[in-house]
Chains A and B, each alone.
Chain A
Amino acid sequence: MEAVDQSTTLDGRSALPRRGFDFKWLIIGGCVILVAYFALIPLFFLLWQSFFTPQTATQPAVFTLDNYRTAYSSSETIRLFLNSLQFAIGTALFSFCLGTLLAWMNERTNTPFKSLFFALSIIPLIIPGVLFTVSWILLGSPKIGLINLALQKVFETDYVFFNVYSLWGMIWVDGLHYSPMAFLIMTAAFRSMDPALEESAMMSGANVLQVAWRITLKLSWPAIFATLLILFVRAIESFEVPALLGLPVGIQVFTSSIYQAIHHYPSQIGLASAYAVTLLAITTVGVYFQSRLSSQGSKYSTMTGKGYRPRPMDLGPWRFLTAGIFILYFLLIVVLPFLVLLWSSLQRFYSVPSWAALQNLTLDAYRFVLTYPTMTQSVWNSLVLALGSATIIMLVTSVICWIVVKTKIPGRWLLDNLASLPMVFPGLVLGLSIMIFYLNFDIGIYGTLWIMFAAYITRFLPYGLRYNTTSMLQIHKELEESAAMSGASWGTTFWRVILPLLKPGLVAGWIYIVIVSIRELSSSILLYSPGTEVVSIVIWELWENGQYVELSALGVLFIVGLFILVMLAQFVGKKFGVKEA
C-alpha cells in the first residue's frame, strides 16, 4: 500500500519536471549543435576543396595536389609570403607603437583633455575599413592626394611626398586603422597594473622616460606580446587595404590573391582554397599563441583586478606636446578622412579643393545615392543581418557560456574552443569556405540572404562568447541555486535570473556585433548576389565603377548613420544594461 502510494505521488510529481527536463536538453542540445555546425563545417570544406578539382556539370571533383603545387611551386608565392609578412608585421608594429604611446599618455600622464580623448576614441572604430582606405587614397595618392598637393604648393616642387600605393602606404593606412584597437587593449593593460610599482621607481630617482621604459613596459610584457600577435593576425587577414592599395600596383598578399583567384575567369576555387589554408595556418598559430599568452598573463602578479586610479605623472611643459600628438592623431584618423569624404561628396566630379571648386558645390551625389536602385534594399539587408545575427549570437552564446562556466559537464572546454574557432578565420577565408559548402550542398540558401546570415553568425560567434563569458563569471552560483530552491525550472531560471543578470555583457556584446556586422565586407564580398547586397558592398561596387563622388556621399551618410546608431545603442545600454553595475 505504501509502495503504491509512493509511486503515484512520484508520478504526479515527475510529470511536470520531465517535460521541463526535455525542454532544457532541447535548448542546450540545439545550441551545441548550432555552434558545432557553424564552426566546423566551413573548416572541413575548405580543407576538402583545397585537395580537389572544381566540380562542374561534366566532371566530378577529383583528388589532386595541383592546387598546392600551383600555389607553392612558383617564385611568386615566396614573394606573396614575404609581402604578407612584411605588411602584417609592419602594420602590427606601427599600430602597436602608436596605440601604446596614446594609451600611456592617456593613462599615466597629465596631458590636458585626455578624458575627452578617451571618449572620442570610440569614433575611429565606427569608420568601416573600406571608407577609411578610400579616404586615405583621396588624401595620399601621388596624383590627387590632398596632402601631396598641399605640400607641393608649400615647397613649390613636383616631388611626391607621400604615396599610399606602396607597401609603406599600406602599412600606414592599415596601422592607423588598427591603432584604436591597440590603444584600447593597452589602456586595459595599464589600468590593471599597480601604480605603486611605478611610484616606487620614481622614488628611487628614475625620470619619466626611465619609468616608462624600465618599469611600465617591462611589466606589461605579456600584454604587449599578446597585443602584437592579435594585431599581426588582424593585419594579415585584412582585405580592404591590400585590395584597394596593393592590387593596383601589383603588391599582392594572401587575402588579395584569394580574391583575385576567385574573380579570375574561370574562377580558381581550388587555388584560392590552397592560399586560404596557408593563411588559416598562419592565423591559427597567431591566435593560439595569443590565447596562451593571455591566460599566462593572468598569472602575472601585477594583475590584481583592483581598480587602481594611479596618480598621473607630471609632464611639465611637455604636456602640450602630448596634447598636440592627441590632436594630430585625431586629425589623421577621424577629421581628415571624414572631411575629405565630405568635400568630395559635394562635388559633381571629383576635384581638389580650390576656390573654383567651392563655387560648384552640389548635393547631386546625395540625390544619386538616395535614389540608387539597390540602396533601400541594401540598407534593409544590412540592418536585418546585423540585428538578426547579433541577437542570435548573444542568445546562443549565453547558453554555451552557461554550459562552459556553470556546469561540470565533461568536454565543456571543447565547446568553448569550438565556439572560439571562427576567431582564426580571416573574413575572406570564411566567406570562401561557406561558399564552397553551400555550393556543394544545395539546400537552397546559396545566393540568398541566409548564406550571409550563416557567415555573420560564424564570424562573430567568438565575440559573443567573450562578452558573455566576462559577465557570466561574475554571476555567483548561488543566485541560480536559490532560484532552483524557490521552485523555478531550468528554463525559468535561465530566463528570469541568468539572462537579466547577464544583461550588461549581453547588451555590450550585442551593440558590438551590430556595429562590426554593418561594417562587414570581406566575407560578404564572396557571398552576395544581386538583391542581397549590403551597404559595404554597394560602397565597393561604386569604387569599382569609379563613382568616387557618389561613394563619398554614401560614405558620409554611412558614417553619420553608424555614429547615431552607436550613440543610441550606448544610451540604451546605459539606461537598461548597466543598471545593476
Chain B
Amino acid sequence: MLRVEKLSTEYPNEYGQIVKAAQDVTFEVPEGKLFTLLGPSGCGKTTTLRSIAGLERPRVGEIAVGGQVVYSSSKNIFIAPNRRGFGMVFQSYAIWPHMNVFQNAAFPLEVRSKRRSRKEIEEQVMRVLRAVALDHLADREATKLSGGQQQRLALARALVMQPPLLLLDEPLSNLDAKLRERMRFELKRLQRELKLTTVYVTHDQSEALALSHEIAVMSEGHIIQIGSPRDIYERPRNKFVADFVGTTNFLDGVITAIEAEEGYCRVRTEVGELKAYAADTPRVGKKVALSIRPEDIELSEERQEGVNVWQGTVDAKVFLGEYLDFQVKLKERLLLARVHPSLKTPVGKPIYLRMNPEKCIAIEEPAASTSAENAPVAAVAPKVQSYAG
C-alpha cells in the first residue's frame, strides 16, 4: 500500500550546516495496517512522516501510495500535499479556531476540486462525527472543546474524505495520562474497524507497542529495526532498541561457546556465565552486550533448579504499587528486577536470580566505525527537530 524507498532528507540548520534528518529510510506498509515510526526526538521520524505527507520535500528517494508515485527524485515527481488526499492528525491538532466543529470537519470536503452538494457534505460529516462521538457537538465552537474532543475532531477531519492513508504525528502526546490511555484504545478500535492504512509517529514506546502491527525504531535518521511489537521488545537487534523500548539491564560479555540448540550460546560476563539467545549467528570470541529485562529476572529466596541461576544481595527496593523494583547487587554490578509485591526479602539479605535463556538477548556490539560517523549528526539532530516543529 505505502512504499517508502531510500528516503533521505537534509536541512541547513540555523548555522548553515547541513543536517541529515532522515537517511536511507525504506519500509512498506500493507493495506489496513498500522505502522509506527518510533524514536527519540530528532531521530527523523517526523521528517519521514512529513515527507510522506508532502509537507517536506526529501532530497532523494521514492514514495508511492497504492501504486501511485507521489514523490520520486529520479523521475522528478512531487505531488503537492493538497493533491495527495491523505488524512493527517497533527501534534497540536491544528483545529481552526475560527470555525465550529462541523465547519472544521467539512473543510476537506468543501475545498476538494470535486464539488459535492451541501447535503452530501452534511451526511458525510455527520457520519464521521458520529464515528468519533462528536455528532452532538457539531455546532460547538471548536475552541470550546476539551483536549480529548479536539483530538477526536482532528481525527474526524482527517477521516472525512476517506483517505487511502492516515498519518498521525504524536496525536496523543498533548493529552493527560488517563485520557491518553483511553484514546489509545479508541484509536486502535477505530483503526482496526475501518481498516485504515496508518503511519503513526511517536516517541512513546508503550503507545507504539500497544497500537502497532509493525514498528520501525529510528535513531539518528536511520531505521534500526523493523518488526512486530513483540519482536522489537523481546528480540532487540541492537543495544539502542533494547534500551529505548522498555527498561533493560545491560551486561558486557564475550561468547565462549555455541550451544547445540539453534541460536543459543554461552556468554561470560563480569558477574558470571549464562546461556543466552543470539539473534545473529553467534561466533566464539565475539564481544556482545547482554540485555535482560527487569521483569524477566525471577527472584526467590531459595535456590531454584535450572540454568542461569545466580546469587546476589538485595541492595535497594522501590514499591510502585502494581509491582516492586529490586536492585540486586552481584559483585560490583547492580541489576534491576521487577517482581510481584508479595516478595518481601529485606535489604541486605541474599537472593537468587533466575533468567530464562530465551529472554537473555546477546546483542552484537556495533562496529566502531559506524558510531563515529553518526556522532556529529547526533549532536545537532535535536535542534533540527525543534526547528522543524
Assess the A488–B98 pair: CB atoms within 8 A.
no
Within 8 A of B (CB), among A530-581: 579-580
A489 partner residues in chain B, CB cutoff 8 A: 82, 111
B79 partner residues in chain A, CB cutoff 8 A: 10, 13-14, 17
Count residues on chain B whose CB falls below 8 Å from chain A CBs.
36
Docked pose: A66 CA to B28 CA in angstroms? 77
Docked pose: A41 CA to B112 CA in angstroms? 42
Tell me if A55 counts as interface (CB < 8 A to partner B). no
Q: A477-B389, A478-B92, A481-B81 are in contact. Are A496 and B107 (CB under 8 A)?
A: yes
Tell me if B343 counts as interface (CB < 8 A to partner A). no
A478 contacts which of B77, B83, B91 (Cβ < 8 Å)? B91
Docked pose: A536 CA to B231 CA in angstroms? 80
Q: A485-B82, A497-B96 are in contact. Are A478 and B90 (CB under 8 A)?
A: yes
B111 partner residues in chain A, CB cutoff 8 A: 483, 486-489, 492, 496
Cβ contacts B364-389/A at 8 Å (1 or 0 each): 00000000000000000000000001
**A481 closest partner in B (C-beta):** B55
Name, among B82, B112, B143, B161, the residue most crowded by chain A CB atoms within 10 Å (CB to CB).
B82
Assess the B107–A501 pair: CB atoms within 8 A.
no
A486 contacts which of B68, B77, B157, B167 (Cβ < 8 Å)? B157
Assess the B83–A487 pair: CB atoms within 8 A.
yes
Chain B nearest CB from A475 CB (Å) reads 10
Tell me if B53 counts as interface (CB < 8 A to partner A). yes
Size bracket, chain A contacts: 20 to 34
Docked pose: A256 CA to B198 CA in angstroms? 71
Chain B nearest CB from A434 CB (Å) reads 38
B112 contacts which of A13, A14, A487, A503 (Cβ < 8 Å)? A487
Name, among B80, B83, B92, B154, the residue most crowded by chain A CB atoms within 10 Å (CB to CB).
B80
Docked pose: A496 CA to B92 CA in angstroms? 19
Assess the B90–A580 pair: CB atoms within 8 A.
no
Name, among B53, B68, B97, the residue most crowded by chain A CB atoms within 10 Å (CB to CB).
B97
Assess the B90–A486 pair: CB atoms within 8 A.
no
A478 partner residues in chain B, CB cutoff 8 A: 90-94, 389
A122 partner residues in chain B, CB cutoff 8 A: none
Assess the B96–A501 pair: CB atoms within 8 A.
yes
A150 partner residues in chain B, CB cutoff 8 A: none
Assess the A488–B88 pair: CB atoms within 8 A.
no
Docked pose: A354 CA to B317 CA in angstroms? 96
Tell me if B69 counts as interface (CB < 8 A to partner A). yes
Tell me if A4 counts as interface (CB < 8 A to partner B). no
Tell me if B232 counts as interface (CB < 8 A to partner A). no
Cβ contacts B340-353/A at 8 Å (1 or 0 each): 00000000000000
Assess the A481–B98 pair: CB atoms within 8 A.
no
B157 partner residues in chain A, CB cutoff 8 A: 482, 486
**A16 closest partner in B (C-beta):** B113
Chain B nearest CB from A462 CB (Å) reads 26
Tell me if B85 counts as interface (CB < 8 A to partner A). yes
Tell me if B233 counts as interface (CB < 8 A to partner A). no
Tell me if A9 counts as interface (CB < 8 A to partner B). yes
Docked pose: A13 CA to B54 CA in angstroms? 15
Tell me if B158 counts as interface (CB < 8 A to partner A). yes
Cβ contacts B98-112/A at 8 Å (1 or 0 each): 100000000110011
Chain B nearest CB from A50 CB (Å) reads 39
Docked pose: A20 CA to B79 CA in angstroms? 13
Chain B nearest CB from A372 CB (Å) reads 45
Tell me if A299 counts as interface (CB < 8 A to partner B). no
Docked pose: A132 CA to B111 CA in angstroms? 52
Docked pose: A518 CA to B91 CA in angstroms? 45
Q: A487-B161, A500-B98, A501-B96 are in contact. Are A482 and B90 (CB under 8 A)?
A: yes
Assess the B88–A482 pair: CB atoms within 8 A.
yes
Assess the A476–B92 pair: CB atoms within 8 A.
yes
B200 partner residues in chain A, CB cutoff 8 A: none
A483 partner residues in chain B, CB cutoff 8 A: 82, 96, 107, 111
Cβ contacts A455-499/B at 8 Å (1 or 0 each): 000000000000000000000111101111111110011001100
**A2 closest partner in B (C-beta):** B67
Chain A residues proximal to chain B, CB less than 8 Å: 6, 9-10, 13-14, 16-17, 20-21, 476-479, 481-489, 492-493, 496-497, 500-501, 503, 579-580
Q: List 9 A-B contacts (CB under 8 A).
A: A13-B83, A17-B83, A479-B94, A484-B80, A485-B84, A486-B157, A487-B83, A496-B107, A500-B98
Q: Give me 9 other A-B pairs in contact (C-beta within 8 A), A484-B54, A501-B97 excluded.
A: A17-B80, A478-B90, A481-B81, A483-B96, A483-B107, A484-B80, A486-B107, A487-B161, A496-B111
Closest 4 A-B residue pairs measured CB to CB? A486-B108, A478-B94, A482-B94, A488-B111
